[in-house]
Structure 1
Amino acid sequence: MTELRTLKVALLGCGNVGAQVARILLDDADMLASRAGARLELVGIAVRNLDAPREVELPRGLFTTDAETLIKDADLVIELMGGIEPARTLILTAMRNGACVVTGNKALVAKDGPTLHEEADKAGVQLSYEAAVAGAIPILRPIRDSLSGDRITRVLGIVNGTTNFILDQMDSTGAQFADALAQAQRLGYAEADPTADVEGYDAASKAAILASLSFHTRFSLDDVYCEGISSVTAADIAAAKDAGFVIKLLAIAEKLTAAGTETGTETGANGDTGVSVRVHPTLLPREHPLAAVRGAFNAVFIEAENAGELMFYGQGAGGKPTASAVMGDLISAARSIVLGGPGRAETTTGQVSALPITAAVTSYYIGLDVADQPGVLAKIARLFADHGVSIEIMRQTIHRDADSNVESAELRIVTHRASEAALAATVEAVKGLDVINSVTSVLRVEGV
């Protein structure tokens, strides 16, 4: 029997995910060798603090604070430090030294993916980051490989478990945002500073990565329109529920013409087609598959010309689930080294433009507090028609103020799909009507 070669693996970072990756490399060495075609030797773990508590008991001798020296002779480098620097410099150095790199660093890939891919191509090494999006869910490889012979037209994703848990709590218990956030923090789903999650920044990084792979174009974080969930109220949740919807924070990437008409045709970056990449709270019909994603779970819903509708569901965070994604990338990279082929190249054949939010095509849910008098509905309907926006659903509820005994009406409108620009202009015009007391909510709608 031919003796297997040994590949040296350097691990950068030993938090929850890194500790689980190290455990798997040590405990499952024989299984990994049989699948990779080579023994994967963990030669060191670079950390900032040698004495920090670890989730897994690991040999003390593996730890070092000298990441630069550790990566010099490595065949494979796993970067799980997070942040932009020094992760970026270490990854570039590793690739220039001929090492394949596996990373879970969504912020770095979203911000500087083009540079990282260019360096990987120059060095002929593999750069992989399945763990950067949706934890354990195998979503990037299916998009890149399994659907490479198809045309993806739209991706909708619940890619942040913290916000999904908060919105699910608000929906199922009637809790206010602050109370649901506090519960997420108590359970460990949300950080002490939850800004990156609740303001949508984490999901926006993942949206940029999904869009880049789905549409074969390098999109960065700057191309993503982003709104978080901190302004979503219990009243919004209740109104959506009453209308048969659920609110989710969605990462959306879809192909559009610049004028806002959906198309399946790629014609290049000459301004006539493009991709809208955005993150915002979104109403989904309760029968939509994504509406059933509860708690801190993630899911990605894909629409493709030939494959049709596909959904990938699973745990989107956590040490063990995310380590599973890291190990899948590591085995793939190891096999490419063993077989002697070049690193897997990124496909950027589409080169379509990133469109502004005003070009997006969506539906709106609009809550209005209006005067209870004849002709109100006609005025509102006429204004929508004047702006080229069609109303799909209009519901009215009458209520009486207990103190003043004055009646007013709560009007809930769901529009048909139209350009974001037309919808935004319609809402602004509605605010100017003399029969409008207030616009109580404006949220986007998908799946209708």
Structure 2
Amino acid sequence: MGDRPLKVAILGCGVVGSQVVRLLEEQADDLAARVGRPVELAGVAVRRIDAPRDVELPAGLLTTDAEALVARDDVDLVVEVIGGIEPARTLILSALEHGASVVTANKALLAEDGPTLFEAAEKAGRDLYYEAAVAGAIPILRPLRESLAGDRVTRVLGIVNGTTNFILDKMDTSGAGFAEALEEAQDLGYAEADPTADVEGFDAAAKAAILASLAFHSRVTAADVHREGISDVTAADIASAREMGCVVKLLAICELRPGTDGPGGGDETVAVRVHPAMIPRSHPLASVREAYNAVFVESDAAGQLMFYGPGAGGAPTASAVMGDLVTVARNLVAGTRGVGESAYADRAVLPMGETRTRYHVGIDVDDRAGVLAAIAQAFAEHDVSIQTMRQDGRGDDAQLVLVSHGATDAQLSATVEHLRGMDIVRDVTSVMRVEGADDQ
């Protein structure tokens, strides 16, 4: 490679790509000093040459032929920020095959087909880095992959979607319903016109799969992640959480579950889920407001760690891309590679029904003698212990609010179905998991 400049090709020049271009130009001298060689833009692949952009590009750098750009002999490093599965997968595989290292922000592709990309990078002897795929500017993947590589991570609990956190935060602070809070998020640009990927938990599930894969050295895909969104969360759920000293958050939860031999045994399993949950206001994640992200990591030696910051946006995400770019460029200059995929543990993913959780259940019941005993009996029949119960009477009917101790999700689900079939139960008005306590 000699002393020639490193050539970078960028796929996509939208919100993130345009910021990467800007940083490459503005920080050219610093980047050259940090990398040990100048870093130059080789080209930027876009869908339309004449589309309005946030950054001025030198003439001749824009192209609509992404396939030809990634296959160029002089391109050393490809940055993929177009998102989606195709053509991103084909372009990344082509880039690696033609000898370029890759930096990507594509959580959907990594969560669906990461192993294919990792194997291609291994075969090509090139790097594949993807810090920007989870939690925007927050450095969380590299600490899991490198800083904690000598430790045993047991749990990763995160708020990894800013849109849903903004909506739930507004519901908590203003008393608004879901639809009203979503509309405000859209007006402010925090939510897309079609918010499905965010509010139904698809975005968070992809990120949870990536986090679990790194934390537990096992291949986890988005299809392995139990996923529930926030569209059914009501103002009443938020109010009930407040009465319990809790707040509702959409959580990505990745846990290492002990096997029959106990912690560290060979038959440990991985549990990965995304769903709204009540957490105590004393929990560090409870104070994460608006569109911010945070990831809470627990490990044997380090204990509890918290990573917090802006989880989306052009400049914050570009910061993570640039961090990877510098690392990969340094590796190219030194003739080395970074850490590849670590999936040696090959742990199985535990079905959601076998995952231990706690439930908050709101029930409208007839207000008559024997109701409490009948409800308690329903819980007991499914081996679910009740931690707390309170009753609010309203004339002929009453509202019961119960919180269970830890039990399997299947037991708790069966209990709720049992309740719905009881004559004395008019409606099960609220069912939500409770996280962040010690008895799970």
* TM-score of Structure 1 vs Structure 2, range by shorter chain: over 0.9
1:360 aligned partner:
355
Within-5 A mapping of 1:366-377: 366-377=361-372
2:326 aligned partner:
331
1:156 aligned partner:
157
The answer on whether the counterparts of 1:21 and 1:323 sit within 8 Å (CA) in structure 2 is: yes
The residue type paired with residue 19 of structure 2 is Q
Measure the CA separation in 1 of the matches of 2:10 and 2:55: 15
Q: Does 1:275 align with 2:264?
A: no
Q: Normalising by the residue count of structure 1, what TM-score does the alignment of the two structures yield?
A: 0.94
Measure the CA separation in 1 of the matches of 2:349 and 2:38: 43
What do residues 418-441 of structure 1 show as CA deviations (whole Å, max 9, x unaligned)? 111111111112222332111001
The answer on whether the counterparts of 2:77 and 2:101 sit within 8 Å (CA) in structure 1 is: yes
1:403 aligned partner:
none
Within-5 A mapping of 1:218-257: 218-257=219-258
1:68 aligned partner:
67
Q: Does 1:185 align with 2:186?
A: yes
The residue type paired with residue 135 of structure 1 is G
| CA positional deviation for 1:392 | 1.2
The answer on whether the counterparts of 2:163 and 2:190 sit within 8 Å (CA) in structure 1 is: yes
1:411 aligned partner:
400
| CA positional deviation for 1:408 | 1.6
Q: Does 1:50 align with 2:49?
A: yes
The residue type paired with residue 46 of structure 2 is V
Q: Percent identity?
A: 62
2:434 aligned partner:
445
The answer on whether the counterparts of 1:154 and 1:252 sit within 8 Å (CA) in structure 2 is: yes
Q: Does 1:206 align with 2:207?
A: yes
Which of 394, 411, 427 is residue 422 of structure 1 equivalent to?
Answer: 411
| CA positional deviation for 1:4 | 5.1
The residue type paired with residue 268 of structure 2 is T
The answer on whether the counterparts of 2:153 and 2:216 sit within 8 Å (CA) in structure 1 is: yes
Measure the CA separation in 2 of the matches of 1:144 and 1:416: 34
Measure the CA separation in 1 of the matches of 2:306 and 2:263: 20
| CA positional deviation for 1:399 | 1.6
Aligned residue pairs total 434
| CA positional deviation for 1:70 | 1.4
Q: Alignment partner of 2:60: what SS?
A: helix
2:382 aligned partner:
387
The residue type paired with residue 179 of structure 1 is E
2:126 aligned partner:
125
The residue type paired with residue 40 of structure 1 is V
The answer on whether the counterparts of 1:266 and 1:350 sit within 8 Å (CA) in structure 2 is: no
| CA positional deviation for 1:355 | 1.6
Q: Alignment partner of 2:30: what SS?
A: helix
The answer on whether the counterparts of 1:160 and 1:197 sit within 8 Å (CA) in structure 2 is: yes
The answer on whether the counterparts of 1:8 and 1:41 sit within 8 Å (CA) in structure 2 is: yes
Pair 4,31 (structure 1): closer, same or farther in 2 beyond 3 Å: farther
Measure the CA separation in 1 of the matches of 2:379 and 2:203: 35
1:302 aligned partner:
297
Measure the CA separation in 2 of the matches of 1:380 and 1:30: 70
Measure the CA separation in 2 of the matches of 1:35 and 1:266: 43
What do residues 130-186 of structure 1 show as CA deviations (whole Å, max 9, x unaligned)? 000000000000011111111111111110000000010011001111110010001
Q: Does 1:319 align with 2:314?
A: yes
The residue type paired with residue 136 of structure 1 is A
| CA positional deviation for 1:229 | 0.6
Measure the CA separation in 1 of the matches of 2:265 and 2:30: 43
What do residues 12-42 of structure 1 show as CA deviations (whole Å, max 9, x unaligned)? 0000100000011111011011111221111
1:404 aligned partner:
none
Measure the CA separation in 2 of the matches of 1:48 and 1:321: 24
The residue type paired with residue 253 of structure 1 is C
Pair 60,181 (structure 1): closer, same or farther in 2 beyond 3 Å: farther
| CA positional deviation for 1:319 | 0.4
Displaced runs of 4+ in structure 1, greater than 6 A?
none
Greater shift after overlay, 381-390 or 204-213?
381-390
Which of 330, 342, 349 is residue 337 of structure 2 equivalent to?
Answer: 342
List alignment gaps of at least 5 residues for structure 1.
401-406
Measure the CA separation in 2 of the matches of 1:438 and 1:173: 26
| CA positional deviation for 1:374 | 2.1
Pair 263,301 (structure 1): closer, same or farther in 2 beyond 3 Å: farther
Q: Normalising by the residue count of structure 2, what TM-score does the alignment of the two structures yield?
A: 0.96
| CA positional deviation for 1:385 | 2.2
Measure the CA separation in 2 of the matches of 1:361 and 1:149: 28
2:85 aligned partner:
84
Pair 69,197 (structure 1): closer, same or farther in 2 beyond 3 Å: same
Measure the CA separation in 1 of the matches of 2:138 and 2:261: 28
2:263 aligned partner:
264
| CA positional deviation for 1:257 | 4.7
Measure the CA separation in 1 of the matches of 2:106 and 2:55: 21
List alignment gaps of at least 5 residues for structure 2.
none
What do residues 190-234 of structure 1 show as CA deviations (whole Å, max 9, x unaligned)? 001111011110111101100100110111111111111111111
Measure the CA separation in 2 of the matches of 1:58 and 1:339: 30
The residue type paired with residue 109 of structure 1 is L
Measure the CA separation in 1 of the matches of 2:53 and 2:256: 44
The answer on whether the counterparts of 1:124 and 1:343 sit within 8 Å (CA) in structure 2 is: no
